[in-house]
A = this chain, B = another copy of it.
Amino acid sequence: MKPAALPEEIHLLPADPLAERPGYALRRAANAMMGDLTSRLSAIDMRLSDASVMMLVQDRIDVTASEIGRTLDIQRANMVPLLNRLENAQLVERRPLDKRSSAIVLTLKGQQKLKQIEQITATFEEDLMERVPEIHKPHLLPALNALWR
């Protein structure tokens, strides 16, 4: 049985019929979100993927480039230029674990940059969730995570 339309949808005319499609709405929402966050992070010379790597590295010890890639769904090959950029900016270091792999660790400068990243993302997430009506708010994250985890 189809659930009844929720209050805030009733008055919306389908000027764009695609907006009723969950896949389309998901795509547009993600694009809007990424555009906004990309622009905010560019103020501190960070890309989305840079920031996600920095945040992941913080929480783990002896994490390798391959592990980061598997966790964040970034191809192993694409981790190389990404980490090179971060290393050239002296934000991370490669510390050899054995003769073929290295732990990626934040430098002091990297830890400072991470604080900026966290300020920006915290404000960003507030602004993001502020747009969502109160009734829907607690459902968004678990619904999204159900779609990919």
Residues of B within 8 Å of A124, CB to CB, are 23
Chain B contacts of A34 at CB under 8 A? 23, 27
Complex: A16 Cα to B149 Cα, angstroms: 10
Which residues of A56-85 are within 8 A (CB) of B? 56, 59, 71-73
CA distance A52 to B27 in the complex (A): 11
Q: Is A138 an interface residue (CB 8 A)?
A: yes
Chain B nearest Cβ from A83, distance in angstroms: 17
In the complex, the answer to whether B30 meets A26 with C-beta atoms within 8 Å is yes
A89 within 8 A of B: no
Task: Give bound CA distance, A129 to B37, whole Å.
Answer: 27
Evaluate whether A33 and B23 lie within 8 angstroms (CB atoms) in the complex, with A6-B142, A147-B128 already known.
Answer: yes
Asked if A95 CB lies within 8 Å of chain B CBs, one says no
User: Closest CB of chain B to A59's CB: distance in Å?
Assistant: 5
The 4 closest A-B pairs by CB, nearest first: A30-B30, A139-B139, A29-B147, A136-B143
5 contacts between A and B (CB under 8 A): A17-B59, A22-B129, A23-B125, A29-B145, A139-B140
